């Protein structure tokens, strides 16, 4: 078989896809047995006369190749190459990876319910999921997991994903961990019965300022809309009168969840998105008027890692002149995938349509079918200055569109925000790079949490967190001394320049060790976040 991917014809690709869906390639339907050949050179081909080159080649390998081979292994190796001939977002998912790929979108997995870190080659439990298996078994924040089912895992430089695999398992199965705990001599063995663990797509939802709510969404999973409704209802009860909706780093997910989310912000009868298939068939989605936030002042944050469903939401709101989009140009994924399963547990995610924003924009960035370079686009943007200046981003006039309110928007590669905020690296001095690059800042916060474990574990509200952190007026100087002990000599000029950034990170990482987790983190990091600060400005200018 010719391995030059440019020589694979489009018709061969179609034939492969058809064969896959039928199950023939994976061995679930076998070809009729050919009659005993009179010669070994003509009969196999005759038996499959009219078949595609791929089918014929596989049949020849099965029947006359000099050695026996594993047909499934050949198919598994070929499938990723096949999908590469289509587009950058059509992919093959082997059965062995299916669970890992689907978990973030399905909203749950089976495990023990802990958040941990391995910054010092030891599994440090940062937080326990309330009501989860570890919570019920008595595991505490700050515990160090030294053994798993009798095997030592501390100090052995084991990869984090391997630790995860050891802790996860079938619902109802048990795992015994040996933990090292402060003020307790020797290891404490704890047996945990694994159970369902929810995967949240909302990282944070809290009142970031009086009357200003903040919601950070990291993916569009099956439970996203339900989570969002619960979050905003809670914020409204706390007096929310405007919202900052953070979609930065959101890689997307289910299209239906993006539509449900968009519907929350728009009045009745507004086009939110439409998709178009290969035959030109369109599916249009309009708002129902039943949204909970149709009048609420709104700022949406995006960046170069906001993709797919997050771009649908941002594009729909922008095209309907709803709210203000702030940040940097989004990723540029305007293709819709459908997941098609096979009976062995594997699947393909096949692009079946393109989506368009209400003004008719396709925001899919350019790519060349079957060629690489697509994933280097983000690097190219950085190197060409597009992260630092809006003037570095150029759109063709043919890609210009106008919203009903008269605003100019562009297609052809991501959502360009209404207000551009450059990537800010001015505070990132050599001292900052040293203390973060060598993980000294994060290790300090772990040690800090251990020293204040009783107070840390008793923090339940943002007000309690704020009071706890405000009481430590020597946090930065204590950290500088710690870094000095670890070999990073203080540079007072650079420390002064990076002060806000370093202090915000220290407070944020300490906060993440509390029960508040990411709510605590994001409640402390915003003073060093120019995009969030710009959002505050916009809301203030609007008088909200």
By annotation, the residues acting in catalysis are: 308, 319, 333
Widest CA span in the chain? 92
Cα separations in angstroms, 103 against 100, 108, 168, 251, 257: 6, 6, 12, 14, 16
Q: Token pair for residue 494? A: 């650079």
| Closest listed residue to residue 339, CA positions, set 349, 330, 327 | 349
Residue matched to tokens 């009071």? 467
Helix H or strand E encompassing 318: helix 309-319
Q: Are 100 and 199 in contact (CB under 8 A)?
A: no
> Rounded to whole angstroms, how far apart are CA atoms 470 and 463?
10
Phi–psi pair at 231, nearest 5 degrees: -65, -50
Residue 480, SS3 per DSSP:
helix
Strands 324-327 and 298-302 come out as parallel
Q: Are 46 and 38 in contact (CB under 8 A)?
A: no
Total length of the chain = 544
> Rounded to whole angstroms, how far apart are CA atoms 541 and 226?
32
Phi–psi pair at 459, nearest 5 degrees: -80, 125
> Rounded to whole angstroms, how far apart are CA atoms 82 and 391?
39
Strands 298-302 and 282-286 come out as unpaired
Residues in Cβ contact with 273 at an 8 Å cutoff, skipping those fewer than 6 apart: 255, 258, 259, 262, 284, 285, 312, 315, 316, 355, 356, 357, 358
Q: Are 110 and 197 in contact (CB under 8 A)?
A: yes
Helix axis angle, 475-485 to 499-512, nearest 10°: 90
> Rounded to whole angstroms, how far apart are CA atoms 258 and 270?
15
Q: Are 399 and 412 in contact (CB under 8 A)?
A: yes
Phi–psi pair at 179, nearest 5 degrees: -115, 145
| Closest listed residue to residue 113, CA positions, set 25, 58, 61, 177 | 177
Q: Token pair for residue 490? A: 């203080």
> Rounded to whole angstroms, how far apart are CA atoms 104 and 109?
9
Cα separations in angstroms, 410 against 85, 113, 256: 28, 44, 24
Q: Are 163 and 123 in contact (CB under 8 A)?
A: yes
DSSP 8-state code for residue 417: P
> Rounded to whole angstroms, how far apart are CA atoms 393 and 409?
13
């Amino acid at each position: 078989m010719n391995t030059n991917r440019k020589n694979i014809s489009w018709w061969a690709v179609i034939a492969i896809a058809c064969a896959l869906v039928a199950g023939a390639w994976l061995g679930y339907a076998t070809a009729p047995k050919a009659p005993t050949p009179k010669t070994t050179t003509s009969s196999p081909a005759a038996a499959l006369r009219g078949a595609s080159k791929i089918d014929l080649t596989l049949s020849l390998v099965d029947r006359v190749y000099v050695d026996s081979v594993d047909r499934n292994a050949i198919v598994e190796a070929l499938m990723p190459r096949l999908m590469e001939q289509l587009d950058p977002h059509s992919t093959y998912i082997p059965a062995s990876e299916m669970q890992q790929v689907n978990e973030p979108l399905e909203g749950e997995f089976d495990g023990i319910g802990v958040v941990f870190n391995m910054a010092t080659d030891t599994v440090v439990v940062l937080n326990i999921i309330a009501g989860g298996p570890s919570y019920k078994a008595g595991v505490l924040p700050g515990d160090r997991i030294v053994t798993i089912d009798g095997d030592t895992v501390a100090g052995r430089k084991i990869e984090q994903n391997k630790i995860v695999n050891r802790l996860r398992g079938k619902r109802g199965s048990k795992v015994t961990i040996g933990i090292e705990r402060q003020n307790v001599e020797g290891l404490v063995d704890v047996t945990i019965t694994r159970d369902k663990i929810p995967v949240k797509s909302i990282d944070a939802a809290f009142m970031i300022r009086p009357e200003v709510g903040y919601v950070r969404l990291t993916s569009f999973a099956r439970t996203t809309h339900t989570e969002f409704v619960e979050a905003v209802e809670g914020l409204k009860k706390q007096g929310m009168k405007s919202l900052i909706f953070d979609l930065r780093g959101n890689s997307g997910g289910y299209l239906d969840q993006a539509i449900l989310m968009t519907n929350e912000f728009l009045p009745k009868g507004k086009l939110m998105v439409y998709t178009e298939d290969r035959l030109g068939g369109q599916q249009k989605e309009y708002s129902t008027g039943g949204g909970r936030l149709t009048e609420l002042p709104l700022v949406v944050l995006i960046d170069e890692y906001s993709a797919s469903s997050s771009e649908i939401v941002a594009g729909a709101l922008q095209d309907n002149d709803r709210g203000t989009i702030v940040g940097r140009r989004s990723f540029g994924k305007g293709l819709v995938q459908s997941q098609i399963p096979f009976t062995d547990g594997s699947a393909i995610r096949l692009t079946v349509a393109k989506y368009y924003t209400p003004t008719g924009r396709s925001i899919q960035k350019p790519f060349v079918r079957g060629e690489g370079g697509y994933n280097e686009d983000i690097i190219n943007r950085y190197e060409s200055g597009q992260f630092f200046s809006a003037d570095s981003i150029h759109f063709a006039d043919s890609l210009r569109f106008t919203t009903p309110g008269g605003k100019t928007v562009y297609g052809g590669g991501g959502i360009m925000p209404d207000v551009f905020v450059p990537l800010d690296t001015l505070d990132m001095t050599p001292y900052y790079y040293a203390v973060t690059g060598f993980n000294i800042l994060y290790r300090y916060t772990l040690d800090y949490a251990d020293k204040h474990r009783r107070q840390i574990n008793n923090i339940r509200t943002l007000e309690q967190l704020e009071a706890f952190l405000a009481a430590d007026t020597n946090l930065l100087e204590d950290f500088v001394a710690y870094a000095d002990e670890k070999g990073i000599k203080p540079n007072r000029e650079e420390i002064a320049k990076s002060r806000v950034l370093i202090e915000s990170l220290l407070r944020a990482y300490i906060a993440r060790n509390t029960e508040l987790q990411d709510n605590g983190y994001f409640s402390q990091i915003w003073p060093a976040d120019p995009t969030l600060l710009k959002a505050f400005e916009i809301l203030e200018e609007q008088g909200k």
